[in-house]
């Protein structure tokens, strides 16, 4: 039974660990939240007291962390993986971070003869629980092949898109399209409401046509029900769009639509919707139009 390290036991990391345990892997886990570590330890994982300890015990380590600074700290910090990691080890970072940060971190690890894949995921908490995440991978092709089976235990789609940093570029592309798509759904449904047409009927009418999409199917019912419990929190999408816009400046990519949706999300954050699902973009349009997309009781 291969032993894996896993650092970051939050909304995504914890169910990913459970799927790896079900797949037969032996896990060594660490998180700054000790209750999360103990919860997985009660399910068969071995608890570690630092990222360095994980590196002492495992040659393959997966990280699932909030953003670039946390990944940098866990991997390169004073008590980080780099302090105890063995030459030949592989780091699989499934966090969503800036591509430049992924390349910089990989370059530091390479000085210790450690290889890295950046492998951000899409599919949210539901996909993490079901093991159906879409995983976009950047890094050396041979290293990817060594890790394909591991990633296949937590995802149903595992695609290498290029060298280190390419995985996060693909994720940022995904998050750009998702954000704009959700805003477009909210805008279109607002048109229906203001025109006096039942938005639920419009949804049924258009879902099988050219406007149909995974986002239309996932987010429209939430808007209609005015149910914005987090599946993917607005605050996390703001974080991703910040990385989108930063990367766009680095590479000279024009991103006017992403910039506009970022402003919408920032206004919603100021209105205390940061912890709501990103479908709460409907509330931005409600604020402008004076009418909610979902009308309870109608």
| Closest of 62, 34, 65 to residue 48, by C-alpha | 34
- Cα–Cα dist 253/250, whole Å: 8
**Phi and psi for 26 in degrees, rounded to 5?**
-95, 125
Whether the Cβ atoms of residue 120 and residue 7 lie closer than 8 Å to each other: no
Whether the Cβ atoms of residue 279 and residue 222 lie closer than 8 Å to each other: yes
Kind and range of the H or E run holding 156 = strand 155-162
Q: Which two structure tokens, joined as six digits, stand for 192?
A: 């229906």
Whether the Cβ atoms of residue 141 and residue 160 lie closer than 8 Å to each other: yes
- The CA-based diameter of the chain, rounded to the nearest angstrom, is 65
Is 269 tagged catalytic?
no
Whether the Cβ atoms of residue 191 and residue 165 lie closer than 8 Å to each other: no
Active-site position among 14, 171, 219, 283:
171
Q: 133-138 and 155-162 as β-strands: parallel, antiparallel, unpaired?
A: parallel
- Please list the active-site residues: 171
């Amino acid at each position: 039974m291969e032993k894996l390290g896993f650092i970051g036991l939050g909304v995504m990391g914890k169910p990913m660990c459970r799927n790896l345990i079900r797949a037969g892997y032996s896990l060594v886990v660490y998180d700054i939240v000790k209750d999360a570590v103990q919860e997985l330890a009660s399910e068969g994982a071995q608890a570690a007291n630092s990222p360095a300890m994980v590196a002492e015990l495992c040659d393959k380590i997966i990280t699932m962390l909030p953003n670039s600074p946390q990944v940098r700290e866990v991997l390169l910090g004073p008590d980080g993986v780099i302090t105890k990691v063995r030459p030949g080890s592989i780091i699989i970072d499934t966090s969503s971070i800036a591509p430049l940060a992924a390349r910089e971190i990989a370059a530091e690890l390479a000085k210790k003869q450690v290889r890295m894949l950046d492998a951000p995921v899409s599919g949210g908490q539901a996909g993490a629980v079901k093991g159906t995440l879409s995983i976009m991978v950047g890094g050396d092709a041979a290293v990817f092949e060594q890790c394909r089976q591991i990633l296949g235990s937590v995802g149903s789609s595992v695609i290498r898109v290029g060298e280190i940093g390419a995985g996060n570029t693909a994720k940022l592309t995904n998050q750009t399209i998702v954000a704009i798509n959700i805003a477009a759904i909210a805008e279109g449904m607002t048109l229906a409401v203001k025109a006096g047409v039942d938005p639920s009927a419009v949804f049924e009418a258009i879902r099988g046509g050219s406007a149909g999409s995974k986002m239309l199917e996932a987010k429209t019912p939430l808007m209609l029900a005015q149910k914005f419990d987090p599946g993917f929190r607005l605050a996390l999408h703001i974080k991703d769009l910040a990385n989108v816009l930063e990367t766009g400046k680095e590479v000279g990519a024009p991103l006017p639509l992403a910039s506009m949706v970022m402003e919408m999300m920032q206004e919603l954050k100021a209105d205390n919707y940061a912890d709501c699902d990103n479908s709460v973009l409907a509330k931005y349009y409600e604020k402008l139009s004076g009418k909610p997309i979902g009308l309870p009781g109608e």
